[in-house]
Amino acid sequence: MGMLKIDQVSVTHNKRRAIKDASFSANEGEIIGFIGADGAGKSSLMHAIAGVIRFEGKISFQNTIYHSPSEAQILKSKIGLMPQGIGLVLYDLLTVGEHLDFFANIRDIRQDDRFNEYKNRLLRMAGLDKFIDRRAGNLSGGMMQKLSLICTLLHRPKLLILDEPTTGVDPLSRIELWKILDQIRCEEGTIALVSTAYMQEAAQMDRVLLFDEGEIIAQGCAKELIKSVQDMTYVRKPFTTPHSMSTLDTTYSLEPLEAEHAEPTLEALFFVNALQKNRILPSVEITPRDGDTSFSSVVMEAQGLTKTFGDFVANDRVDIRLCRGEILGLLGSNGAGKTTFIKMLLGLLPIDDGELNLLGKRIETAKDRQELKSSIGYVSQHFALYNDMTVRENLHYFASMHQIPMDIAIKRIARYSEELGFDGYMDAIPTELPLGINQRFSLAAALLHEPVILFLDEPTSGVDAIARAQFWQLLVALKEKWKIAILITTHYMSEAEFCDRIVLMRDGCKVADDTIPNLYTAHPNAKTFEEIFLEYYR
Amino acid sequence: MNRIFWSIVGKELIGFIRSWQLVLVVLYMFSVEVYIAGSGIEINPRNVAVGYVDGTAGGLSQKILTHLHGPEFLAPRRFNSQRELSRAIFDKEIIVGLVFDADFEKKWRQNKSAQLDILMDATAASQAYTTLNYLQHIVLDISKVNIPVDIVTHKLFNQNADNHTFMALTELLSIITMLSIILTAVVFVREKEQGTWDLMLLMPVNPKVIILAKSFSQIIVVMTGIVISLGFVVLGIFNVPVNGSLSAFLLLSFFFVFAGSGIGLFIAAVARDVMQVAQLSIVVMMPLIFLSGAWTPIYAMHPALQYLSYISPLRYYIEGSESIFYRGTEWIDLWPYFMGVISVGGVMYWIGFRKIGRLF
């Protein structure tokens, strides 16, 4: 009873295989984790199982077999799907209570005492019972996700499909989300399929499926999976052999190395898989920049930066100092004020109060802002670039905008494309490229004018583990060779450890600003950075 | 500055050419759309179905009927009774029905007042009334009324009184209005949609240059469309007379497109996505076109609307273009139209420029 069996399921989007021959099964009350990069096929498989897109193959759930969305129709009352994206299923103008009524009505649930009791319990679990009259548009990201989850749970589904429910959500809400999920699956015997970008979350699940390029490359209990790659994981070795790959702290090798073994995480599986398929990325080499690197040691200093939108204080007297040759990680959940702060630093939003100094000079007039812009390199979220121009045309366009002389521009573009490893894609349109390539090409566009500050807004979200590791090596190389200051936002806590210094924001205020070792000494009970982060949210 | 300006213009043109759907739409507008308007909209009667009931022996009645011939009328169809004829009109088989009573010819021969009954389907109002006009002429002709006046008409500017050329030109001008607004708005809004807006703001470039260059690139696109449409459709197919100077028309168009792109800038500042651009453009464009005299002559409008029409740059543009094409007005005498387009258009561009400039 209640068994879910996926048999050789394939999904094709516009002649492109999104997922090929996926097979797995799940038992009552199990939580199955889906991990892998964007475009690896997780969402496609989830939508196929939910019976909302066409697929090939066979799925059976509670002894009902279906091959197409129309055959799955009779199961819809037992399935709950929560698509990717915060608050995507919510209506901004409806209140929390109205949402619950609305979802109960479209699901045609009899609203008797039993239902009301269940509903109130869900509300209490989500901590939303005090906010019944608040509009969804005014909830925080974490509350929105909790509301989406309880709306999906209202009809007591036996199969719950959650597509990245925790991405971008603050750690406390994330823990609460998991608590709700855990309780529901114990009580109702619900099968939950959950995709996540956080390896720590995946490690907690009953079973994990690893996705890579439209295939499930491994599945099983997280502990066993990690154990299987234990022998190939070492503490970082500075040199490389042909069958090895390194991140900033670990080296993976198929051949035995004379080094100490390190404790692998689930990510190690992706590296080992790539090594086995002989997909080895070239190591990173960065040549020194054309301009000099002897600028002042404090590159940018913000003092008491404040931004208000009406009554709402988005940034409350934030001080941040950026030093030469430093990687500063800016952490905080959605709505903590990161974006507002960044926009003020970039000169995109006027500063309401406080002062901003760049290379020792105060930024006040519009002309100062223009100067600010020419010394900042910016990689936006999702690597937004011009999608109707090729990589080469994009880079030339940026060079012209920064008034870099043509001959220098051509030389630089050639050099960057080689060093950042996208020279094979110069005449392709950005949308045709893998995300990892786009990421490096966006970085090249941001570096063309040799800025003194590089600003990166979640540059690694959705990018696969290997490309992410390589990107971090690039950043470290840039920091060392170019001495530029790098300000980066990320929601991967494991990446925070690669930063020299961390600034933590919460509700528009800075709550921590220190180096990693200092933070660990200040929080002796914390074993991982995630736990430190959590302590600031308690 | 120069290099930046032309880089942006080049980038936008590349972007335009690579989005083939947009290229197709623009080409369609400038060719097929103008052709359809020119050949499809008919004000004179054409292929009017005529039916008649003839109670006379058929001398005079047939004489009148022979005047109803192609291309204006289909061959008259005979019905046996007035009821049958009414039925046919009701079923939309016949537009105009003539009823000759039994004593029609007799009365006429006796110089008494003879009565010809006409039934008309007035849903096609203008066709029906022009047909009526024709019939009155025919009857007047046959009646040989001896009024010692001869009418001799000289049709000025459009000798064949051909409304195809006029409709084609009016449609072209409306399309120029529409595309100059929408294309300009879209180049800005697409940056908002693709998430490249911030990148654009972060360029260490004077925002004025960006706005000017981006709108200029779309002016180039529209001007190219105008030349294509003029060459192939307006002059090629419809043979619109060019009594004035074509370069005067192109220059006037250039200034007018600026006005349109000013409205486009304003819409781009307000709209969040391309869908909103489409909605807003329609809301803005319709009054602009109605108030311009494109559909109804301005002197036939309500006085209040006549005053309002002064703020539509399209009014000066249409009057100017008609003067150039039909009247062959000299350069020097075109100044009121140029003044109108430049002053109203200049204000519009300035407003749009200021509005979007605030987003930078």
**Hey, are the CB atoms on B14 and A347 less than 8 Å from each other?**
no
pLDDT (tens digit, 9 = 90+) per residue, B330-346?
A: 888 899 999 999 999 89
B273-301 confidence digits (pLDDT tens): 889 999 999 898 888 888 887 777 788 88
Phi, psi of B46 (to 5 degrees): -150, 135
Partners of residue B217 in chain A, C-beta under 8 Å: none
Residue numbers in B near A402 (CB within 8 A): 203-204
CB nearest to B195's CB, from A380, A389, A401: A380
Distance CA B259, CA B348 (A): 6
Does the beta carbon of A346 lie under 8 angstroms from any beta carbon of chain B? Answer: yes
- Cross-chain Cβ contact B204/A346 below 8 Å: no
Residues A374, B196: C-beta atoms closer than 8 Å: no
Kindly state whether A281 is in contact with chain B, defined as any CB-CB distance less than 8 angstroms.
no
- Answer whether B15 sits within 8 Å of A386, measured CB to CB: yes
Candidates A236, A229, A238, A223; CA nearest to A275 is: A229
DSSP annotation string for A232-257: GEEE--SS--TTEEE-SSEEEESS--
Query: Confidence band (pLDDT; 50, 70, 90) for B189?
Result: very high
CA distance A470 to A434: 14
Task: Check residue A229 and give its pLDDT.
Answer: 86
Q: Which residues of A touch B11 (CB under 8 A)?
A: 386, 389, 393, 397
User: Are A82 and A89 spatial neighbours (Cβ–Cβ below 8 Å)?
Assistant: yes
DSSP state letter for B326: I
Architecture of the domain made up of A284-375+451-464+477-538: 3-Layer(aba) Sandwich (3.40)
Closest partner residue to B195 (CB to CB) among A346, A384, A403 is A384
Binary contact (B203, A346; C-beta < 8 A) = no
Q: Per-residue pLDDT for chain A (538 aa), expressed as one digit of tens each?
A: 457 898 889 998 877 888 888 999 898 889 999 998 877 888 899 999 998 899 999 999 888 899 989 988 888 888 999 988 877 888 888 999 999 999 999 888 888 899 999 999 999 988 888 888 988 888 877 888 899 999 999 989 999 999 988 877 777 788 889 999 999 888 888 999 999 888 888 888 999 999 988 889 888 888 888 888 888 888 887 766 777 888 878 888 888 887 888 888 888 888 888 888 877 766 667 777 777 767 778 888 888 888 888 878 888 888 888 888 899 999 887 777 888 888 888 888 888 888 888 888 888 877 887 877 888 888 887 777 888 899 999 999 999 988 899 999 999 999 888 888 888 889 988 888 878 888 888 999 999 988 888 999 888 877 888 888 888 888 998 888 888 899 998 877 778 888 999 998 888 888 888 888 898 888 888 888 878 888 887 7
Across the interface, do B194 and A386 touch by the CB < 8 Å criterion? yes
- pLDDT recorded at residue A209: 92
Selection from B200, B323, B194, B20 nearest residue A398 by Cα: B200
Helices assigned H by DSSP within A243-337: 267-276
The answer to whether the CB of A512 falls within 8 A of the CB of A502 is: yes
CA end-to-end distance (rounded Å), chain A: 41
- The crossing angle, in degrees rounded to 10, of helices A529-537 and A171-188 is 100
Q: What is the CATH number of domain A4-220?
A: 3.40.50.300
Q: Which of B134-138, B147-151, B205-209 has the lowest mean pLDDT?
A: B147-151
Q: Does A408 touch chain B (CB under 8 A)?
A: no
- The answer, yes or no, to whether the previous bond of B71 is cis (omega within 30 of 0) is yes
pLDDT at B31 over 80: yes
CB atoms A401 and B195 under 8 Å: no
| Residue A147, phi then psi, degrees to nearest 5 | -65, -45
Burial A81-109 (b: 16+ CB within 10 A, else e): bbbeebbebbeeeebbeebbeebbeeeeb
Report the distance separating Cα B23 and Cα A388, nearest Å.
13
> Which phi and psi (to 5°) does residue A253 adopt?
-145, 140
Task: Give B4→chain A minimum CA distance, Å.
Answer: 6
Instruction: Assess B15–A contact: CB distance below 8 Å, yes or no.
Output: yes
Closest alpha carbon within chain A to B197? A384
Residue of A nearest to B9 (CA): A397
Which residues have CB under 8 Å from B336's CB, separation 6+? B316
Question: Do residue A389 and residue B196 have CB atoms under 8 angstroms apart?
Answer: no
- Which residues on A lie below 8 Å from B205 (Cβ)? 401
Beta bridge partners of A298: A323
Nearest-angstrom CA–CA distance, A446 and B198? 13
> Which chain B residue's Cα is nearest to A366?
B206
Task: Tell me which residues of chain A, numbers 376 to 405, contact chain B at a CB-CB cutoff of 8 Å.
Answer: 376, 378, 380-382, 384-389, 393, 397, 400-403
Cross-strand partners of A220: A208
pLDDT at B41 (0 to 100)? 67
Q: CA-CA distance, B33 to B228, in Å (whole number)?
A: 13
Tell me which H or E stretch contains A157: none
Distance in Å, alpha carbon of A137 to nearest chain B alpha carbon: 18
Residue B254, burial from CB neighbour count under 10 angstroms (0-12, 13-18, 19+): middle
Q: Which of residues 204-233 of B touch A (CB under 8 A)?
A: 204-206
Compute the radius of gyration of chain B from its Cα atoms: 27
- B48 DSSP assignment: B
CA count, 13 A, side-chain hemisphere, A260? 5
In this prediction, residue B127 has a pLDDT band, given cuts at 50, 70 and 90, of confident
**What domains are defined for chain B?**
2-41+158-357 (no CATH), 50-143 (3.40.1710.10)
Query: What pLDDT was estimated at residue B180?
Result: 93
Secondary structure of residue A81 in the 3-state scheme: strand
* Residues from chain A contacting residue B7 (CB–CB below 8 Å): 397, 400-401
CA distance B230 to A201: 66
Verify whether the Cβ–Cβ distance A380 to B14 is below 8 Å. no
Taking alpha carbons only, the member of B111, B83, B114 closest to residue B97 is B83
Number of cross-chain residue pairs from A and B with Cβ atoms under 8 Å apart: 60
With beta carbons under 8 A apart, name residues in chain A contacting B198.
Answer: 343, 346, 348, 378, 380, 384
| Tokens at B181, concatenated | 């607004």
Pick the residue from chain A with its C-alpha nearest to B194: A384
Are A397 and B7 within 8 A, CB to CB?
yes
The answer to whether the Cβ–Cβ distance between B201 and A371 falls below 8 Å is no
CA distances (Å), origin B71, targets A123, A177, B45, B77, B205: 77, 78, 8, 16, 63
Question: Are the beta carbons of A497 and A489 closer than 8 angstroms?
Answer: no
Nearest-Cα distance to chain B for A157, in Å, is 36
Alpha-carbon distance of A61 to A27, in angstroms, equals: 10
- B350 Cβ partners below 8 Å, 6+ apart? B262
CB contact under 8 A, B204 and A401: yes
Per residue in B238-280, pLDDT (tens digit) is: 888 888 889 999 999 999 998 899 999 999 999 988 899 999 9
A365 contact B CB<8A:
no
Alpha-carbon distance of B270 to B276, in angstroms, equals 9
Residue range(s) of every CATH 3.40.50.300 domain in chain A: 4-220, 284-375+451-464+477-538
DSSP string, B54-72: E-S-SSHHHHHHHT--TTT
Q: What is the pLDDT of residue B212?
A: 92
